[in-house]
A and B are shown apart, each in its own frame.
Chain A
Amino acid sequence: MRSAILCRYGEIFLKSGNRHRFERALRDNVAAAVRDLPGVGIDMPHGRILVHVDAAQVDDACARLERVFGLVSFSVAARVPPDIDAIGAAAVRAARAAMDSPAPPAHFKIESRRADKRFPMRSLEISAAVGARVVAETGLPVDVHRPALTIGVEVAPETVFVFAGSRAAPGGLPVGTAGLGLLLLSGGIDSPVAGWLAAKRGLALDAIYFHSPPFIGEKSKDKVLALGKVLARWQALRSVTVVPFTDAQKQLRDTGPAELAVVLYRRMMMRIADAVGDQLHADALVTGENLGQVASQTIQNLSAIEGAARRLVLRPLATYDKVETTALARRIGTYETSILPFEDCCSLFVPAHPSTSARVADAERTEATLDVTAIVAAAVAGSERISLA
């Protein structure tokens, strides 16, 4: 027994000039999400993506479609011939199935869409006819204003889809259509959420993680990779590049003023990220930085950090409250991993009183005494890229 999942996408219609590119990307992403399900097939009729799977795989397929950016919603549909009797019978079956469920609906309505104008009845006529039959055969009352159950009818060429309700998908744009971002990923709560938000707007992502052995243990690296795998389930991350950062951190700390240490580290991270971004042909950097979340995240410091980057720096969380970020982390599935206690244990590298108004000139004065190019080159040379595919 085969099932069809009818997937809807909305926003990309607005991009009329690029519509075909967006649709192709979305189709490819849907295909990638369900690729390993046995016997899966995909086609794109009448402004929808149809996923065909064996009935036994429907739940698994739906769980994956809920994580495909660019999809707005989807429904598991019965396919019937373009014949009003067949449509009515399918709608009755859908209503009975809903009435047998643990939460039976109190009322319903029919919502029809006629994509194939050759069908002899108009949408409202279809709804009226099918609705009358459902009432006659099941006794379920109609409420067109606030229905507990909406039975959808979509008339496509040669096939009509009948379905009960729809499930929400995350929306946004197909991953990859906005370019490639390099995410500065750590083991905290914020950066995975920042990556997810960037991916939701169509950025494909690779990540870079700055590792500082022996001050940070293997478990912290494993934790970052675990977070990366959660993002990969949303097709939001392809790889993590682990960059050794201890030497850079040590040189900066021993050279610069203590209160400037955090800004100096982050400026160096931007430079190393740019160098890794060159290898990966990234279009932008993405960070989990937030305005004012910790003392050092002032607008002045963020400006001084940004000054070291060659690429556009996206900070999707810049204006989020912590509770908003945390709620998203729970939805994405990164929260439980992020709160595991394998954070940087020691504050050896973080001054007690970081500057809140770093000036680029001060940072540059310290950097001028160091061989910044060599530090960046050494970090990149020592890096290891781990694929999450």
Chain B
Amino acid sequence: MIYLDNAASTRPAPEVVEAVARAAHDHFANPSSAHALGAAATRALEEAREQVARLMGAATAGEILFTSGGTEADALGLIGAATRARGRHLVVSAIEHPAILRSAELLVGQGYELTIVPPDRSGVVRADDVMAALRPDTAVVSVMLVNNELGTVQPVAEIAHGLARAENDPAQRPQHRPHLHVDAVQAAGFVPLRVASLGADTVAISGHKIHGPKGAGALWLRPGARIAPLWDGGRQERGLRSGTENLPGWVGLGVAADLVARLRDGQGVEAIRAERDRFERAVLASLADDEMSAITEVRPTVSGAPRAPHVSSLSFPGLPAEPLLHALETRAVYASAGSACASRGRGPSHVLAAIGVDDRTAVLRFSFSRETTAAEADGAVAALREAIIEIAPMVNTGARR
């Protein structure tokens, strides 16, 4: 099995699985309980919070709120901030994850106005375009750090800087600086994440993208930033996220954060980047001979933009995406497919449509992890060539005549 779908989900690290099981076994008491068992559970939880704070570069662990995952962290950041703000205008990028886009649409249903900022063809949302979308009543700006389909890194620090500058510009007044929410789900562990200096107000991450458990995520909240809870109850997580703590999941997230931070601080990330780059060169080379170039061409879906090290998005004009994916699957290579065309069941990719990928182009996403070996990458290159040889004849005859 060659698993190159790590941007969809990663395999939990053995240390994580063990920590989850141990926490479930040892710390079954409610962290809110006043007795010693509750105190022990709370200590385990606070250690996990420290670990997540270190990965995100937070000044103190108290800035971390645990959630049920990336989607909840995004919703809490976006909806929570919008609910607290005076303004009723939102600015989000067109290539955000549905967790942001659909939460923004929910707010539109409640009377907010929404401006969607398109990316350029390289898959990057320009800071200038975000600034141009601001209004005096803009409540929240939401831009992701790394796009999940393309791997492109967005200029979040520049956008944060722009927001701060606009706040100090007398011509812009009266204005409240908008809340900046950053979806860092695909970024954590792969690009430097120093929330303390990023300039954002809230930053979301997810456990299962970093070899942690599913159902566990976190939101960093800048000291002084104000958000409203999405619901109320026992007032856990500083009253911003009520519900009995998912202690095993969050302990697992902490261990995963610890492992990924160590990898980032070592040479691990650069090794992933090198392997991804080698893979892309090998794919292009393997499809460049006469036999292959007669049936298809391949190109990187985006070029010129800074990219996260683990995502490779490749485009195959004239080929269908899902059959290619299934043909890879029969060769035990697991990746993801996207396409700009609406199919009967699944909708088109809003990201690919936003960067102008035409609807007859298959886009495959291969996403790497620290577990990916060179032999696996080579196997995927060979399987891709075979899959194209299998699929291409199907589209070049028959129904199109």
Contact = CB atoms under 8 A, between A and B. Distances in A.
Interface of A: 213-218, 250, 253-254, 258, 261, 340-352
Contacts of A217: 322, 325-326, 329
A27 B387 CA distance: 54
B253 to A, nearest CB: 29
B323 A346 contact: yes
Contacts of B330: 213-214
B399 interface: yes
A242 to B, nearest CB: 15
Given A215-B323, A343-B345, A348 B397 contact: no
A332 B397 CA distance: 41
A150 B82 CA distance: 57
Nearest to B322: A345
Contacts of B329: 214, 217-218
A178 B86 CA distance: 70
Contacts of A216: 326
B114 to A, nearest CB: 25
Contacts of A352: 399
Contacts of B323: 214-215, 345-346, 348
A337 to B, nearest CB: 13
B106 interface: no
Given A253-B399, A258-B401, A351-B399, A341 B320 contact: no
Given A214-B330, A217-B329, A346-B322, A254 B344 contact: no
A324 B320 CA distance: 35
Given A258-B399, A350-B399, A214 B345 contact: no
B75 interface: no
B326 A254 contact: no
Contacts of B374: none
Given A217-B329, A250-B394, A344-B345, 20 more contacts: A213-B326, A214-B327, A214-B390, A215-B394, A217-B325, A250-B398, A253-B397, A254-B398, A261-B398, A342-B345, A343-B345, A345-B343, A345-B344, A346-B320, A347-B344, A348-B394, A348-B395, A349-B398, A350-B399, A351-B399
14 contacts: A213-B330, A214-B390, A215-B323, A215-B326, A217-B326, A218-B329, A250-B394, A254-B398, A258-B400, A261-B398, A340-B345, A343-B345, A345-B321, A345-B345
Contacts of B322: 215, 217, 345-346
Given A213-B326, A215-B323, A348-B320, A341 B345 contact: yes
Contacts of B35: none
A258 B401 CA distance: 7
A383 B338 CA distance: 30
B25 interface: no
A340 B344 CA distance: 11
Interface in B375-401: 387, 390-391, 394-395, 397-401
Contacts of B391: 214
Interface string B166-198: 000000000000000000000000000000000
Contacts of B343: 343, 345-346
B372 to A, nearest CB: 23
A343 B398 contact: no
Interface string B322-336: 111111011000000
Closest 9 CB pairs of A and B: A214-B326, A341-B345, A253-B398, A343-B345, A345-B343, A214-B327, A345-B322, A346-B320, A343-B344
Contacts of A342: 345
A342 B394 CA distance: 21
Contacts of B345: 340-345
A253 B390 CA distance: 16
A348 to B, nearest CB: 6
Nearest to B337: A345
Contact of A258 (B324, B327, B398): B398
**Which residue among B326, B327, B390 has the maximum number of chain A CB atoms within 10 Å of its CB?**
B326
A296 to B, nearest CB: 13
A351 B324 CA distance: 20
Contacts of A250: 394, 398
A347 B360 CA distance: 11
Contacts of A254: 397-398
Contacts of A340: 345
Nearest to A257: B401
Contacts of A346: 320, 322-323, 343
Contacts of A341: 345-346
B176 to A, nearest CB: 41
Nearest to A346: B320
Given A213-B326, A217-B329, A258-B399, A344 B394 contact: no
Contacts of A343: 343-345
A261 B326 contact: no
Contacts of A344: 344-345
A217 B336 CA distance: 13
A41 B325 CA distance: 53
